[in-house]
Amino acid sequence: MPGAGTRVERSAVLAWMRLARVFQKMTRAATAEFARDGLTGAQFDVIAQLGRGEGITQQELANRLLVTKGNISQLLDKMEERGLIARCPEGRANALSLTAEGKRLFATVVPAHEARIIARFGALPADEQRQLLRLLRLLDHALE
């Protein structure tokens, strides 16, 4: 039946467009919230990563953030100048850690960001949140 395939294909396109729209709205709101804390989205990502596991190298951080080591170098330079991170040479690499100020920021901005995400997802009942997570996991794994 030609119409059935078309509806499925249209649903896939509409789902992708809706997912992109929701992601864009949440990213825009998060960017504004990070700015109020004096951070860019990339700086927040670094603080969140290092706050959960210090001592990783610049390369490991770049891999986690899906960027190149060169891209992360300038970002870390600025964060180091602000006193948020420290680089400690370990052989040919630098181990990264948060300074006291970076740890203070981590302790405030990460829980606040997570609380805002939880509040936004509160538009869905808990069982639908779990269903959404399950479906997104399936799609994520299918795309690998």
For residue 92, what pLDDT is reported? 85
For residue 38, what pLDDT is reported? 93
Domain 40-142 listed as CATH 1.10.10.10: yes
For residue 70, what pLDDT is reported? 78
pLDDT tens digits, the chain, 144 residues: what are they?
Answer: 455 567 778 899 999 999 999 999 999 999 999 999 999 999 999 999 999 988 899 889 999 998 887 788 899 999 999 999 999 988 888 899 999 999 999 999 999 999 999 999 999 999 999 999 999 999 999 998
- Cβ–Cβ < 8 Å for 88, 74: no
Q: Where in the chain are the domains?
A: 40-142
C-alpha 4/C-alpha 101 separation (Å) is 58
- Burial of 78-114, coded b for 16+ CB within 10 Å and e otherwise, reads ebbeeebbbbeeeeeebbbbbeeebbebbeebeeebe
For residue 24, what pLDDT is reported? 97
